Amino acid sequence: MESKKPNPKFNLESIGVNPNDLIDEVQELSSIAYTGNLKKILSTQKKLKERKASNIKFSEPVLKQGDNAVIFPHTINVIQGQAGVHKSRLAEMICSSFMKLNGYDAELLGFKRTTFEANHMVCYVDTERNLSEQLPFALQSIQMKAGYNLSDHPDNFDYISLLEIDRKNRFSALNDYLTHLKTTSDRPLFVVLDVSTDCIEDFNKTDKSMELIDLMNIAINEHDVIFLCLIHENPKSDKARGHFGTELMNKASTVMQVAFEKDANQNDTDIIRVKYLKCRSTARHTPFYIKYSNEVKSLVLADAGDVSDVVNSRKHKASNEDMIEFIEMYLGDGTMMQRTDLIDKLCKDFKAASRTIETRLKEIISSEIEIHNLQGTICKLFKEQIEKVVYYKLISKETI
């Protein structure tokens, strides 16, 4: 008996569906979505028109380090670095600065808020440390450095751990927590994500990364919220981890990189450099230097003499990493400098022969080493000849 061949054509009418009805329904849903999106776009356009017609007053910083404006309202900010460079302790100092009681005398690496009152609700979201010792000790440290007692529960200090939440559910849990904060507190929020890549299912996937980026962008635009994201760098690289790290750098207003200074033999010293990779609202600040003190079990500002000894001890080697800092200083504002002028400057800076400097420049050009301009954009060193004169300049990687 001959078997029936299945009909390859799918017939909607055979299952009782009128194709015209289905088309009408799809068009109706599309129209609803279109109407909703257009309404929101036009509403935003109206707000922009009103702002455009008035004098724009830029926001003042809410936190400074020394005289440098570091954190501004409605922004996403980043601390990045390799594992073990005290990123979390630096973030804790910043939290203490927001919370510090008026009149309490504490040196917090030069960080100080710009308002008299501790208005911000500090919200610490941790993903790494154990719940028995490590995280409780860090929370104790934050509030005690702000002038509170061990047994106090400051009303401007909130904290959670996502350690026990399955990774695939962490974004949803974080979203629920932020919604809870916005509905239970009328304070401006300062939210620390430590570490931010652990708040999403996969930091290498575009869709998962953009979920958290979009969440933060919406929050800072619709509410009085500031984010500080901690993120690890890729091993032996100064690039923040994964697709999420790339997008985070693009959206961030201030990016601080934390790294141990090297000695003449390229070994880590106990001096830690905090370098500003990006300052969207100001000129890029010069680095400041800190160290971990066993005596006070905390970070302290490094002695200027110790910093000078470490930096000078390796200058004659003119390593690529050291030269990048000076290249950023000379070319970071878009300057195009003649070859002879740049080499002369670097020879004086490093007390090195011109042949050594030129070799280093060739290595930097041919390598994948990242250089940042004053806007924090990732660039490469580029050499160009114009009418028989050779120039050096920085070119954004996005335009290469």
Q: For residue 240, what is the DSSP state? A: B
316-399 is classed in which CATH architecture? Orthogonal Bundle (1.10)
Q: What is the pLDDT of residue 166?
A: 95
Residue 18, pLDDT > 80, answer: no
The closest of 290, 330, 301, 274 to 77, measured between CA atoms, is 274
Mean pLDDT of 48-62: 87
Residue 4, pLDDT > 80, answer: no
Residue 124, pLDDT > 90, answer: yes
CB atoms within 10 A of CB 219: 22
Q: Which residues contact 363 (CB under 8 A, 6 or more apart)?
A: 320
**Using 50, 70 and 90 to split pLDDT, how confident is the model at 14?**
low
Q: What's the rounded Cα separation, in Å, for the pair 369 and 363?
A: 9
Q: Higher pLDDT residue, 276 or 55? A: 276
Give buried/exposed letters for 303-333 (b at 16+ CB in 10 A, else e): eeeebeebbeebeeebeeebbbbebbebbbe
Q: What's the rounded Cα separation, in Å, for the pair 336 and 330?
A: 9
Q: Higher pLDDT residue, 266 or 99? A: 99
**Please, what is the average pLDDT of the chain?**
88
pTM of the model: 0.78
Give buried/exposed letters for 109-136 (b at 16+ CB in 10 A, else e): bbbebeeeebebbbbbbbbebeeeeebe
Task: Pick from 154-168, 234-248, 304-318, 327-341 the range whose average pLDDT is largest.
Answer: 154-168
Q: pLDDT tens, 75-111?
A: 999 999 999 999 999 999 999 999 999 989 888 999 9
**Which token pair is 248?**
């985070």
Ranges in the chain annotated CATH 3.40.50.300: 63-303
Q: Higher pLDDT residue, 85 or 30? A: 85
Q: What's the rounded Cα separation, in Å, for the pair 352 and 364?
A: 17
Residue 343, pLDDT > 80, answer: yes
User: One-letter amino acid identity for 318?
Assistant: A
Determine phi and psi for 161, rounding to 5 degrees.
-125, 135
Q: Cα Rg for the chain, rounded, in angstroms?
A: 26
Residue 358, pLDDT > 60, answer: yes
Q: What's the rounded Cα separation, in Å, for the pair 294 and 195?
A: 24
Q: What is the pLDDT of residue 266?
A: 78
Q: Higher pLDDT residue, 35 or 62? A: 62
Structural element, H or E, at residue 300: strand 298-301
Residue 189, pLDDT > 60, answer: yes
The fold for domain 63-303 equals: Rossmann fold (3.40.50)
Q: What is the pLDDT of residue 200?
A: 93
Q: For residue 29, what is the DSSP state? A: H
